[in-house]
Amino acid sequence: MSQNNHPTTPRKSSTFDDYTLSEIRRAAATGIYDIRGGGTKRKVPHFDDLLFLGASMSRYPLEGYREKCSTEVVLGTRFAKKPITLKIPITIAGMSFGSLSGPAKEALGRGATLAGTSTTTGDGGMTEEERGHSETLVYQYLPSRYGMNPRDLRRADAIEIVIGQGAKPGGGGMLLGQKISDRVAEMRTLPKGIDQRSACRHPDWTGPDDLEIKILELREITGWEKPIYIKIGGARPYYDTALAVKAGADVVVLDGMQGGTAATQEVFIEHVGMPTLACIRPAVQALQDLGMHRKVQLIVSGGIRNGADVAKALALGADAVSIGTAALVALGDNDPKWEAEYQALGTTAGSYDDWHEGRDPAGITTQDPELMKRVDPALAGRRLANYLKVMTLEAQTIARACGKSHVHNLEPEDLVALTIEASAMAGVPLAGTSWIPGKTGF
Amino acid sequence: MPVIDLATTPLRELNQALHDAAAPGHNDTEFEVLNPKGAHAVAVGVAAPVSIEVKGSVGYYCGGMNEQASITVHGSAGPGVAENMMSGTVVIKGDASQYAGATGRGGLLVIEGNAASRCGISMKGINIVVRGNIGHMSAFMAQSGNLVVLGDAGDALGDSLYEARLFVRGAVKSLGADCIAKEMRPEHLELLEGLLAEAGITDVKPQEFTRYGSARTLYNFNIDNADAY
């Protein structure tokens, strides 16, 4: 009897799944690694693996629509003469003009300003659009120093020294030639149309001892007015945070592997760096060990999507969070209304990540004059402000349920974990037990 | 002429006095700084056409982000001298440490002694003239501007160079990726003559230099060039 009379269901390999097979074929056909935007797409332990306990017999909740739950956050209280006060604990992460269009940068500034928070420049200098439309603007100080100048340094509200980012700790950047318009080329002092590499290390300092002197220089240039942030990717959060404090940071920005990038090798995004959830507690521990928790503020980013994520990050010890990918989605990135065009690019709404190619149907990650018209800065800014307000209301809802009159009063004790992995990473007990792996016995 | 003695005056007061020189109503145009003794961030962020004489050696980042000022260091300079300079002139009578003129956008940096490694790293329009030798990895990823070296250059000169021009009179130990020797055309001789004159150098001729620049083969990524990176 032939075996074909008893066919088994075709079985695909878990190891060589469809995506893996397509990647092998793509590599074989092109001879180059895959580059894309965004953060990790793999499933990693995240805020969804945590739950709040809420108030009960032993805790006293606050009335949802009556009792105040504050959200204000002050950043830069350690050394800066002019700390920043934000109405909400959610900021907009650094994204460059060059990777984003001018109207998209303007929309980020408008949205952040409407919501009472800050936005951040990126690897490409400060544009008039974003300075003009951002009440509070953080100016990134990057290894490439594209567009860096003392005038912009002085008209910034804070300076963020970028050591790394979560999508690619240890990596530099690349803006491909197709996005180098005349304006981008001029701002970066490079010929039009060539691939622009952004260095992975700063050109004029190495290590935290040098960085301390670099910070002294920046403070002297700006009269000690501006808060100085240090942004690190999620690699060795305990030591990196401790060294950032040692180097003189006012604020530490910590970005986990879900944090997006404009363009990096897929292998880098998916295989280097730690999930955001795994980074927060070691960073907070470093601050506590140095007696600097709440004195040096901690901003956490990488995969923040809603008010619950905000509340969980704050409960674990962050002072604020930062959003990048979610802000772009609020502006219109990956909107299904452009589905036909996503299909034409060989992808689908929700999966589009070839931001470096400059053909973004939503008009956000492009320098194409026609495509970028699709972003109405006022309208997109309003959408971002709406989204930020919803996130804030959600975080307040949770904080009140936990009996907190300020979102900063949320604490690890308010949380439990759904999985052993999340419990170990967040340092909160597995739900229904008093067990924290590595800390308490059964 | 204000004389600021760093043995008795905090650095903050020095830099604030220099910054105030740009404000209306301030007429001082010449400053003297005594006893720098290797202090960091001396005369940074100055934005006025003033002259500053520093009598001694300085630490990191002297003249950082300078605009318009003429700063002379009568001694040696630590790492990152004149980093990100916009305009003006910085003259170092002695030697300079690493990253001299890093990311500089304009103005003239003259080092009368030697410069260490990574001189002119990522330079973006500055002109740098070094009377002595320069160390390894100099002009790494240099984008724009001119680097003139009367002595020798170390390993990997001009690695991953963009459009900056490099002129070396002595020996080059090795060239970095995508950096090649190029023909010295009349316009380059003229440019070099002007730079030497600006730096106050009269005892050498432009014809004694070799020009180096980018081969431009790495400007757009090509997998077949991967070995060069």
- Residue A393, classified by CB atoms within 10 Å of its CB into exposed (0-12), middle (13-18) or buried (19+), is middle
Task: Give, rounded to a whole angstrom, the gap between the first and last alpha carbons of chain A.
Answer: 57
Q: 141-170 in A: which are within 8 Å (CB) of B? A: 144-145, 148-150, 153
Q: How far apart are CA A296 and CA A290, in angstroms?
A: 10
Chain A residues with CB under 8 Å of B125 CB are: 189
pLDDT of residue A64: 84
Q: Per residue in A4-38, pLDDT tens?
A: 778 899 999 999 999 999 999 999 998 888 999 99
Q: How far apart are CA B114 and CA B170, in angstroms?
A: 13
What is the average pLDDT score of chain A? 95
Which H or E run contains A91?
A: strand A90-92
Q: Determine the average pLDDT of the residues in A128-143.
A: 95
pLDDT of residue A408: 98
Q: Do A31 and B223 touch (CB under 8 A)?
A: yes
pLDDT of residue A6: 84
Q: In this structure, which long-range contacts are made by residues B83-91, counting pairs with CB atoms below 8 Å and at least 24 apart in sequence? A: B83/A203, B83/A204, B84/A145, B84/A148, B84/A149, B84/A150, B85/B109, B85/B126, B86/A149, B86/A150, B88/B46, B88/B49, B90/B62, B90/B63, B90/B66
Q: Per residue in A157-211, pLDDT tens?
A: 999 999 999 999 999 877 777 777 888 888 888 888 888 888 899 999 999 999 9
pTM of the model: 0.96
Q: Do B86 and A174 touch (CB under 8 A)?
A: no
Per CB distance under 8 Å, which residues of B are interface residues toward A?
Answer: 11-12, 15-16, 19, 40-41, 44-45, 47, 59-61, 64-65, 67, 79-80, 83-84, 86, 98-99, 102-103, 105, 118, 121-122, 124-125, 140-141, 143-144, 160, 162-163, 219-221, 223
pLDDT of residue A442: 55
A441 has a pLDDT exceeding 70:
no
Q: Do B44 and A224 touch (CB under 8 A)?
A: no
Which of A190, A205, A223 is closest, CB to CB, to B162? A190
Q: Do A205 and B84 touch (CB under 8 A)?
A: no
Question: Quick one: tokens of B161?
Answer: 């160079």
Locate the domains of chain A by residue range.
45-332+375-426
Whether A207 and chain B come into contact, CB under 8 Å, resolves to no
CATH topology of domain A45-332+375-426: TIM Barrel (3.20.20)
Which of A32, A203, A222 is closest, CB to CB, to B121? A203
What contacts B15, CB < 8 A, 6 or more positions away? A220, A221, B41, B42, B43, B44, B45, B46
Which ranges of chain B have pLDDT less than 70? 226, 228-229
Q: Determine the average pLDDT of the residues in A346-352.
A: 96
Which H or E run contains A1?
A: none
Which of B86, B99, B221 is closest, CB to CB, to A150? B86
Q: Do B19 and A190 touch (CB under 8 A)?
A: no
Whether A210 and chain B come into contact, CB under 8 Å, resolves to yes
Higher pLDDT, residue A44 or A183: A44
Query: Cβ of B177: how many Cβ atoms within 10 Å?
Result: 18
**Length of chain A (residues):** 442
Question: Rounded to an integer, what is the distance from CA A20 to the centroid of its chain?
Answer: 27
- Give the three-class secondary structure for B169: coil
Q: How far apart are CA B152 and CA B132, in angstroms?
A: 7
pLDDT of residue A3: 60
- Residue A243, classified by CB atoms within 10 Å of its CB into exposed (0-12), middle (13-18) or buried (19+), is buried
Q: Per residue in A207-242, pLDDT tens?
A: 999 999 999 999 999 999 999 999 999 999 999 999
**Length of chain B (residues):** 229
Which of A150, A203, A220 is closest, CB to CB, to B41? A220
pLDDT of residue A289: 98
Question: Quick one: tokens of B81?
Answer: 């001298």
Q: Can you list the positions of beta strands (E) in chain B? A: 3-5, 30-34, 51-55, 70-73, 89-92, 108-111, 124-130, 144-149, 165-168, 179-182, 210-214
pLDDT of residue B43: 98
- Contact between A158 and A76 (Cβ < 8 Å): yes
Q: How far apart are CA A294 and CA A208, in angstroms?
A: 21
Q: Determine the average pLDDT of the residues in A258-286.
A: 96
Which of B67, B124, B223 is closest, CB to CB, to A189? B124
Whether A185 and chain B come into contact, CB under 8 Å, resolves to no
A361 has a pLDDT exceeding 90:
yes
Q: Per residue in B1-44, pLDDT tens?
A: 899 999 999 999 999 999 999 888 888 999 999 999 999 999 99
What contacts A249, CB < 8 A, 6 or more positions away? A78, A161, A215, A228, A229, A230, A296
- Contact between A82 and A225 (Cβ < 8 Å): yes
Higher pLDDT, residue A353 or A179: A353
- The per-residue b/e assignment along A8-43, b for 16 or more CB within 10 angstroms, e otherwise, is eeeeeeeeeeeeeeeeeeeeeeeeeeebbbbbbeee
Question: Quick one: tokens of A105?
Answer: 């940068």
Q: Per residue in B181-203, pLDDT tens?
A: 999 999 999 999 999 999 999 99
pLDDT of residue A149: 97
Find, among A323, A311, A374, A408, the residue nearest to A70 by Cα. Answer: A408
Question: Taking the alpha carbons of A258, A266, A206, B123 in that order, is the dihedral positive or negative?
Answer: negative
Residue of A220, A226, A356, A357 to mutate, testing the B interface (most B Cβ within 10 Å of its Cβ): A220
Q: In the A/B pair of chains, how many CB contacts fall below 8 A?
A: 102
**Which DSSP category does A93 fall into?**
P
Calculate what percentage of chain A has a pLDDT beyond 70.
Answer: 99
Q: How far apart are CA A144 and CA A165, in angstroms?
A: 14
Q: Per residue in A404-417, pLDDT tens?
A: 999 999 999 999 99
Q: Which domains does chain B have, with CATH numbers?
A: 37-218 (2.160.20.60)
